């Protein structure tokens, strides 16, 4: 009965208070998903490209339930507020700028939040993210120009970038060791919940000035997040390292419950060691932590490099780049992180409604909701696959599946096979969850030793946001240019097909398998075990 025993152990380890902490803290990543996709469904309404009469079917769904939905003809609903316009005129390039500002803010937030979380604590950093989320949502909701919308997106992006760094660290430090992987998956799950929520709202509120209610919902979520954080304690691991182990022990006991024995988790705290913080997390925080000296079982060049740099010293970014020992790992980790975005997932998450309108047998907004739901379900269902099939196998399966789906989508759009187009979009998203979704965030800490993991992880994070910006900024521009040049639509997905082929070849040639390997030396075949 191992499964029932494991379930009983999980129930004993997890207290209601811990569930509350996880629920509140994951509102940060949830808002990341919310703001990432908030402009997708109402894009044409926001940018004044759709007249109100074309949105009558959407408005009629809410006219009986919402007081602000008038029974007069839609031509008279051009303005619902004396202060705010119904839309902000934008072409595709301008809208792409507004959308991509979110990723630039995310890059700044991700890189800037680490030192704050390290010096002042995880809790303060999370509270700051809620302030940025709220400020960004307010500016976006009241936005009457391209500049205001862009500024709001930047502010929301700063909160989102910081949340993607801080919340996974906080969860890993409050979750029981045996359930850390399960609770760690809640970050990605909550992102997908946020995407699904905003796509659903967009389906019903993409008309007139109602799109502002979508953005205003972000204010409510940010306020709930900020209020909930008043109930959240500081991370016990951070308290043990920076303040008092006794205080940290009291906080941990409260999180675990009064009948839980925390002695095993806290044993190392009195000796000034905080084992609950993973090395890659410390790299994101920007504050090196002591690491154990190389094991006598390591007789590789990597161990010599670590010893050369002082054994317990973390290497800086320039040191990692210049050292040929780490260069293959850096190339592999950054390449996989870029492949995550260059295979095109955010072309669907951010632009699916405008891209697929008039091409599919169902409403593109409704299909987007289904896409988001499938993204959520497949993320949960596929989370065990990297540990079962291997990281490299999952990456190749995911890239192959996305490439094949992109090819099918391009051909089906060109030849008017609408059913096939809808199916191709759904498979495109489902294959992303198999490998390209979770695996890139795992690899960095497995491809290098502890002495270089901080610099490698930080570089990967920056590369991810840069690649996201490139897709968000240039996808709609290239899509329009190709459609005008060759006629028809769907040509851009031939580019994603080609990129998937290149990314697959890159993984085959440059990315080793890390499943079941004890350290980076074994991953790269640089060690001979003496035991």
Q: What is the pLDDT of residues 218-263, one digit of tens each?
A: 999 999 999 999 999 999 988 988 888 889 999 999 998 888 888 8
Of 172, 224, 190, 141, residue with least CA distance to 32:
190
The whole-number average pLDDT for the span 145-170 is 92
CA distance 207 to 185: 35
Task: Write down the pLDDT at residue 165.
Answer: 79
| H-state helical runs in 229-262 | 236-242, 245-256
Distance (Å, rounded) from C-alpha 271 to C-alpha 291?
14
For residue 72, the model assigns a pLDDT of 38
d(CA 106, CA 120) in angstroms, rounded, equals 20
What letters, b where the CB count within 10 A reaches 16 and e where it falls short, cover 197-230? bbbbbbbbbbbbbbbbebbebbbebbeebbebbe
Confidence of residue 297 (pLDDT cuts 50, 70, 90): very low
Per-residue pLDDT at 314:
52
- Give the pLDDT score at 116: 84
Q: What is the pLDDT of residue 509?
A: 93
Among 285, 342, 311, residue whose Cα is nearest residue 457: 285
Question: For helices 146-174 and 186-205, what crossing angle results, to 10°?
Answer: 150
- Whether the per-residue pLDDT at 192 is higher than 50: the answer is yes
Average pLDDT, the chain: 80
- Euclidean distance between CA atoms 370 and 515, whole angstroms: 33
Top-confidence residue, 295 or 508: 508
- What's the rounded Cα separation, in Å, for the pair 367 and 443? 32
Is residue 65 pLDDT above 80, yes or no?
no
pLDDT digit string (tens) for 70-87? 333 343 344 444 478 999
Higher pLDDT, 461 or 491: 491
Q: What is the DSSP string of 274-289?
A: -TTS-HHHHHHHT---
Q: Using one digit for the tens of pLDDT, what is the confidence trace for 195-221? A: 999 999 998 998 889 999 999 999 999
Give the residue, 364 or 205, on which the prediction is more confident.
205
- The predicted pLDDT at position 74 comes to 40
The residue that leads in pLDDT, 409 or 178, is 409
Residue reference for tokens 């001979």: 528
Q: Which residue has the higher pLDDT, 176 or 498?
A: 498
pLDDT band with cut points at 50, 70 and 90 for residue 2: very low
Answer for the pair 153, 94: CB distance below 8 angstroms, yes or no: no
Tokens of 59: 């408005």
Q: Using CA atoms, how far apart are residues 372 and 366, in angstroms rounded to an integer?
A: 10
- The mean pLDDT of 9-33, rounded to a whole number, is 87
Q: Which of 479, 495, 285 is nearest to 402 (CA)?
A: 495
- How much is the pTM? 0.74
Q: How many CB atoms lie within 10 A of CB 167?
A: 25
Percent of the chain with pLDDT over 90: 37
Q: Are the CB atoms for 461 and 338 separated by under 8 Å?
A: no
Distance (Å, rounded) from C-alpha 365 to C-alpha 204?
Answer: 9
Helix axes 391-414, 327-342, angle to 10 degrees: 30
Nearest partner of 125 among 89, 61, 94, 170, judged by Cα: 170
Contact 40, 203 (CB under 8 A): no
Alpha-carbon span 258 to 262, nearest angstrom: 10
pLDDT above 70 as % of the chain: 76
Alpha-carbon 72 to chain mean position: 42
For the ranges 89-93, 268-272, 288-292, the maximum mean pLDDT occurs at: 89-93
Q: Which residues contact 141 (CB under 8 A, 6 or more apart)?
A: 152, 212, 215, 216, 218, 219
Tens digits of residue pLDDT in 460-471: 777 888 898 888
**Does position 362 have pLDDT exceeding 80, yes or no?**
no
Quick one: pLDDT at residue 395?
A: 94
Of 172, 179, 177, residue with least CA distance to 6: 179
* Torsion sign across C-alpha atoms 528, 317, 191, 257: positive
Cβ–Cβ under 8 Å, residues 202 and 42 = yes
């Amino acid at each position: 009965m191992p499964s029932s025993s494991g379930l009983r152990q999980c129930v004993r380890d997890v207290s209601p208070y811990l569930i509350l902490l996880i629920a509140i803290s994951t509102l940060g990543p949830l808002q990341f998903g919310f703001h990432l996709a908030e402009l997708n469904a109402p894009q044409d309404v926001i940018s004044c490209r759709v007249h109100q009469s074309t949105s009558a079917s959407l408005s009629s769904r809410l006219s009986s339930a919402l007081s602000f939905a008038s029974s007069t003809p839609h031509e008279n609903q051009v303005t619902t507020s004396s202060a705010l316009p119904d839309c902000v005129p934008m072409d595709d390039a301008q809208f792409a700028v507004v959308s991509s500002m979110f990723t630039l803010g995310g890059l700044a937030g991700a890189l800037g939040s680490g030192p704050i979380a390290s010096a002042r604590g995880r809790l303060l950093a999370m509270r700051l993210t809620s302030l940025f989320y709220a400020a960004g949502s307010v500016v976006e909701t009241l936005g009457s120009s391209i500049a205001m919308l862009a500024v709001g997106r930047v502010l929301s992006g700063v909160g989102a970038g910081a949340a993607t760094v801080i919340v996974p660290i906080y969860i890993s430090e409050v979750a029981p060791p045996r359930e850390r992987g399960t609770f760690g998956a809640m970050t990605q799950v909550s992102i997908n919940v946020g995407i699904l929520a905003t796509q659903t709202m967009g389906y019903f509120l993409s008309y007139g000035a109602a799109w502002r209610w979508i953005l205003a919902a972000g204010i409510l979520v940010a306020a709930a997040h900020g209020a909930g954080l008043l109930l959240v304690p500081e991370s016990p691991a951070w308290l043990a390292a920076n303040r008092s182990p006794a205080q940290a022990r009291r906080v941990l006991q409260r999180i675990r419950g009064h009948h839980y024995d925390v002695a095993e988790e806290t044993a190392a705290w009195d000796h000034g060691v905080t084992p609950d913080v993973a090395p890659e997390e410390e790299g994101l925080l920007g504050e090196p932590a002591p690491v154990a000296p190389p094991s006598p079982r390591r007789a590789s060049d990597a161990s010599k490099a670590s010893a050369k740099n002082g054994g317990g010293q973390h290497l800086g970014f320039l040191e990692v780049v210049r050292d040929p020992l780490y260069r293959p790992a850096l190339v592999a980790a950054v390449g996989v992180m870029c492949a995550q975005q260059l295979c095109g997932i955010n072309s669907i998450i951010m632009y699916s409604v405008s891209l697929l309108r008039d091409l599919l047998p169902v409403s593109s907004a409704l299909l987007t909701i289904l896409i988001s739901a499938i993204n959520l379900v497949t993320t949960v269902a596929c989370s065990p696959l990297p540990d079962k099939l291997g990281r490299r196998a999952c990456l190749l399966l995911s890239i192959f599946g996305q490439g094949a789906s992109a090819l099918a989508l391009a051909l089906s759009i060109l030849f008017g096979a609408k059913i096939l187009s809808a199916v191709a979009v759904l498979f495109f998203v489902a294959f992303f969850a198999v490998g390209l979704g979770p695996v890139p965030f795992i690899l960095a800490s497995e491809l290098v030793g502890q002495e270089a993991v901080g610099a490698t992880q930080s570089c990967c994070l920056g590369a991810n946001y840069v690649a996201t910006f490139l897709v968000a900024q240039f996808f709609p521009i290239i899509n329009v240019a190709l459609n005008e040049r060759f006629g028809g639509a769907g040509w851009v997905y031939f580019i994603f097909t080609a990129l998937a082929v290149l990314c697959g070849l890159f993984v085959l040639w440059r990315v080793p398998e890390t499943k079941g390997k004890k350290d980076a030396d074994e991953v790269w075949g640089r060690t001979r075990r003496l035991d």
